[in-house]
Amino acid sequence: MTLALFLVPDLGSGPLLELAGPEAHHAATVKRLEVGERVLLADGRGGLAECRAVAVGRDRLRFEVLSRTQQPAPEPRFVVVQALPKGERAELAVEALTELGVDEIVPWSASRSISQWRGADKIDKGLAKWRKTALEASKQSRRARIPLIEDLASTADVLGLVGDCAAAFVLHEDADASLARQSLPSRGTVVLVIGPEGGISPEELVALQAAGATPVRLGAEVLRTSTAGAAALAVLSVAAGRWGDTV
């Protein structure tokens, strides 16, 4: 059985670690962790420690550190520009992308996005929800690195990102090229642009191509914006060798 993972601010270097606050409450009252049980503690930046519980309280737990490892940042780095989906599909997209190994998600206010974050309060609320979803999905999938959720991006921001990366692809139903047939760089950043429910506008597509993005498609089917990114990320993960034999 896979060990449960909890997040700590820092893994330190000593023989013991403490878990406090909401994470401790979740471990003690929801997971009902008992003395002697083993868990994983992660700092969200690649640090991972296998530990054994030696003291359990409602708001604080103490662990004996059995081992520490530092997982290197993967290369190439995958950044998904996700046009704002409507309703709960936004959280579904972030959750799936996180579980599938994305390194960074950039929320994009595309011209045809049905959902728009207008005003500072709505932007802050939207970003907080995406970041919380990414954190929870990281724990669920036992990730030692929590993906970065960037600030809300305009189309100009996205064009700058595309122009400054090692490779960029934009999913489009009319594209001739297959994503599965694309060559990936061994290092640097790979940007994947996912449009909204209404599709990427012709003007946005032309601008993305001019900035260096290659239009690609996955197959004959047209996927929802909330699932297209996850499907494309899976293709890229196989191509980059992130997924493969583990024996």
Residue linked to tokens 């064009």: 159
DSSP output for 73-139: PPSSEEEEEEE--STTHHHHHHHHHHHTT-SEEEEE--TT-SS---SHHHHHHHHHHHHHHHHHHHH
Q: Are strands 167-171 and 148-149 parallel, antiparallel or unpaired?
A: unpaired
pLDDT value of position 222: 80
pLDDT at 246 over 80: no
Q: Is the pLDDT of residue 236 over 90?
A: yes
* Averaged confidence pLDDT in the chain: 93
| Beta carbons within 8 Å of 217's beta carbon, 6+ residues apart | 171, 172, 173, 174, 175, 176, 177, 178, 179
Identity of the amino acid at 11: L
The model's pLDDT over 184-221, given as tens digits with 9 standing for 90+, comes to 999 999 999 999 988 999 999 999 999 999 999 998 88
* Lowest-pLDDT choice from 15-29, 95-109, 119-133: 15-29
Name residue 196's amino acid.
Answer: P
Centroid of chain to Cα 156 = 22
Q: What is the pLDDT at residue 220?
A: 82
The span from the CA of 179 to the CA of 170, in Å, is: 9
Average pLDDT of the segment spanning 27-47: 93
pLDDT digits (tens, 9 = 90+) for 152-181: 999 999 999 999 999 999 999 999 999 999
* Band of pLDDT at residue 247, cut at 50, 70 and 90: very low
H helices of the chain, where? 21-25, 89-99, 120-140, 155-163, 202-211, 225-239
Domains, the chain: 5-70 (2.40.240.20), 77-239 (3.40.1280.10)
Give the pLDDT of residue 245. Answer: 55
Judge if pTM exceeds 0.85: yes
Q: Supply 18's token pair.
A: 């403490």
Residue-wise pLDDT tens digits, 132-159: 999 999 999 999 999 999 999 999 999 9
